Every structure is written in structure tokens, then in C-alpha cells.
Amino acid sequence: MIELPEAVVIARQITETVGGKRIAAAVANASSHKFAWYTGDPAEYNDRLAGKVIGRGTGVGGNIEFEAGDMVLSVSAPIRYHLQGEKRPKKHQLLLEFADGTAISSSAQMWGGFFCFRAGEKGGLPDYDLAKTRPSPLTPAFDRVYFDTLFDVETPKLSAKAFLATEQRIPGLGNGVLQDILWTARIHPRQKMGELSEQAIQAMFTAVKRVLAEMTAQGGRDTERDLFGRPGGYQTVLSKNTVGQPCPACGTSICKEPYLGGSIYYCAGCQRL
Ligand SMILES: [Zn+2]
């Protein structure tokens, strides 16, 4: 899956790089993948897409969504651009060959959605309405008043990680971007929401907005790759790249441990339980 900053960055690159290109051929499900999802029969993708011209791309939660004529493609896996004559990947779940000899392809990581549906329809996308109707943290509509509406009677029992990064409460905010958000807010991922002061909640809200905006402005995280296979310019504080290294704020060694289906990274000095 991909997360909000990379979805926005790759969607913008799609608009700039392949917008206006005509699809010569589309191949979906060339390599079978246990956790790849399509709209209807992937064998029909060529009929739906051949001859269509790529339009604008947008990042919607953790999905890269772009127009192809009267169709919409919504992809929740990284997308790569290929030049004329450049070798295409051996395995992929979606390949669009353009009339000018360039192409884009996408391969599922742990899982991935490769939906293709008529504009205005839902195409079988799980959580589509959620991602579409909830304001993006990158927009002014995601303000403190809106953030407070995400809290309910169950919230105090949830950990900070569970609150921010599960149930698609904030579409596109997953376990990857979560780490630096909580470090910035100085909140431990296991901390119960009910134990947080008003000051800490405000710090959490501010960090969600600020860190996601920084990651997006800098072309995504350095742990992820863009449309051209380049790592993003945002240097992660807490990630697989920095585990064991000293925290830039206090010098404590950065730890990694499994928690709630995925690794958490934190600084025990800055993020006290
Ligand atoms: Zn620290």
C-alpha cells in the first residue's frame, strides 16, 4: 500500500508526465497475486482502456487516482514510469503501454488495489466513500474542529497508533507516516488516547498537519520511491533507515518493535509512556 504523501506526489507526476498520452494497450493481473484487487474481470481492462487518453491524477487517501478518458484508475500500489524501449518489470499487476512507446506499471507489495471503473461509479473500491468524503489533512478543511469529530466513546481506550493509523479514520495516514507524526508530537505509539492531556492532543493534531505537509512538499519519504524510482526528499526521523541511530533531538537510540500489525519506531527519551 502507499500513504498520503506518496499518493499525492505520484499523482502529480502522473499528471505532468503521462497526462495527454493515449493508451495503446492495458494489461491487468499478468502476474497473479493473492492480495491484488480489481474492478470486475481484469481480462477486460484492455477493452475498457485501450485508446483512452490519460487526464489528471489526484491523491485520494492512500490511492493514486487518475482519469483515462471516461474511465478512472485508482491504484494503491507504487507506480513506475518506463521510457521507450526500456525493459518492463517481469511481474506486475497493471501495465499501461502508451502510443508513444512509454509505459507505466504497478506491482502490489503486501497487497494492492488496481481498480478501473467508469467516472462517477465506485468500482468496488473498499472505503472509497470514506476517502472521498473525509477532508485531506493537507487541506484547511482538516482543522481542529474536524479532528475533534474523529473522537468517540471508544477513543480513550485506543492507543495513539490505533487512533491515528487504523480504521481509515484519516485516509492515507498509515503505519509509515505515523512514526514521525508521533515523534514530532512527543507521544508514544502505545500511549492510550484517554491518558493524553489537551496539550498533547493539540500537539498530535498539529503534527498530523505539519508532518504530512512536509513529507508531501519534499516529494515523499526517503524510504519510498516516486514515479521515476527515486527516493523522496523527506528524511525520516523514525524508520528502517534510522533504527539504532541516535534521536536527533535527545540522542537516545531509536527502537523498533512489533505492535498492532506492523513495526513501530520510537525514541524512548522523547516519547515517554
Ligand atoms: Zn529523542
Q: Is the pLDDT score of 168 beyond 90?
A: no
Give every CB contact of residue 110 below 8 A, 6+ residues apart in sequence. Answer: 1, 35
Residue 24: CB atoms within 10 Å: 16
Q: Which residue has the cell 485508482?
A: 74
138 found inside a domain: no
What spacing in Å lies between the alpha carbon of 192 and ligand 1's midpoint? 20
Residue 101: band (very low, low, confident or very high) from pLDDT cuts 50, 70, 90: very high
Q: Say yes or no: 58 and 103 in one domain.
A: yes
C-alpha cell at 186: 512527543
What spacing in Å lies between the alpha carbon of 172 and ligand 1's midpoint? 26
| Span 69-82, average pLDDT | 97
Residue 100: band (very low, low, confident or very high) from pLDDT cuts 50, 70, 90: very high
Helix 198-217 to helix 175-185 angle (10° resolution) is 130
What spacing in Å lies between the alpha carbon of 142 and ligand 1's midpoint? 28
Q: Say yes or no: 162 and 260 in one domain.
A: yes
What spacing in Å lies between the alpha carbon of 148 and ligand 1's midpoint? 28
Q: Is the pLDDT score of 150 beyond 90?
A: yes
What spacing in Å lies between the alpha carbon of 186 and ligand 1's midpoint? 9
Last residue of a domain, one of 88, 107, 133: 133
Between CA 58 and CA 63 the distance in angstroms is: 8
- CB contact at 8 A, 177 and 211: yes
Per-chain mean pLDDT for the chain: 95
30 found inside a domain: yes
Q: State how beta strands 71-75 and 112-118 pair.
A: antiparallel
| Span 122-139, average pLDDT | 81
Choice among 9-13, 106-110, 160-164, 188-192 with the minimum mean pLDDT: 106-110
What spacing in Å lies between the alpha carbon of 45 and ligand 1's midpoint? 49
Supply the pTM of this predicted model: 0.95
What spacing in Å lies between the alpha carbon of 7 and ligand 1's midpoint? 29
What spacing in Å lies between the alpha carbon of 166 and ligand 1's midpoint? 25
| Amino acid identity, position 166 | T
Q: Express each pLDDT in 194-208 by its tens digit.
A: 999 999 999 999 999
What spacing in Å lies between the alpha carbon of 145 and ligand 1's midpoint? 30
CA 195 and chain centroid, separation: 29
Residue 78: CB atoms within 10 Å: 22
Q: Is the pLDDT score of 124 beyond 80?
A: no
Quick one: pLDDT at residue 121?
86
C-alpha cell at 37: 484487487
What spacing in Å lies between the alpha carbon of 238 and ligand 1's midpoint? 10
Last residue of a domain, one of 108, 133, 158: 133
Q: Is the pLDDT score of 66 beyond 90?
A: yes
Residue 63: band (very low, low, confident or very high) from pLDDT cuts 50, 70, 90: very high
Q: Say yes or no: 36 and 129 in one domain.
A: yes
Task: Give residues whose Cβ lies within 5 Å of ion ligand 1.
Answer: 247, 249-250, 252, 267, 269-270
Quick one: pLDDT at residue 120?
86
What spacing in Å lies between the alpha carbon of 243 and ligand 1's midpoint? 12
Q: Is the pLDDT score of 145 beyond 80?
A: yes
Range of the domain at 49: 4-133
Q: Say yes or no: 53 and 121 in one domain.
A: yes
What spacing in Å lies between the alpha carbon of 254 and ligand 1's midpoint? 8
Q: Say yes or no: 149 and 98 in one domain.
A: no
272 found inside a domain: no
Name the domain count of the chain.
Answer: 2
Residue 231: band (very low, low, confident or very high) from pLDDT cuts 50, 70, 90: very high
What spacing in Å lies between the alpha carbon of 244 and ligand 1's midpoint? 12
Between CA 176 and CA 224 the distance in angstroms is: 10
154 found inside a domain: yes
What spacing in Å lies between the alpha carbon of 1 and ligand 1's midpoint? 28
Q: Provide the phi-psi class of 27: left if phi over 0, else alpha when psi is between -120 and 50, else beta.
A: beta
Between CA 258 and CA 240 the distance in angstroms is: 13
Q: Say yes or no: 55 and 78 in one domain.
A: yes
Q: Say yes or no: 125 and 201 in one domain.
A: no
Helix 4-18 to helix 198-217 angle (10° resolution) is 20
- Number of residues in the chain: 273
165 found inside a domain: yes
What is the percentage of the chain residues whose pLDDT exceeds 70?
A: 99
Q: State how beta strands 63-68 and 54-60 pair.
A: antiparallel
Q: Is the pLDDT score of 131 beyond 80?
A: no
Last residue of a domain, one of 72, 98, 133: 133
Quick one: pLDDT at residue 130?
73
C-alpha cell at 18: 503521462
What spacing in Å lies between the alpha carbon of 272 and ligand 1's midpoint? 10
- CB contact at 8 A, 33 and 112: yes
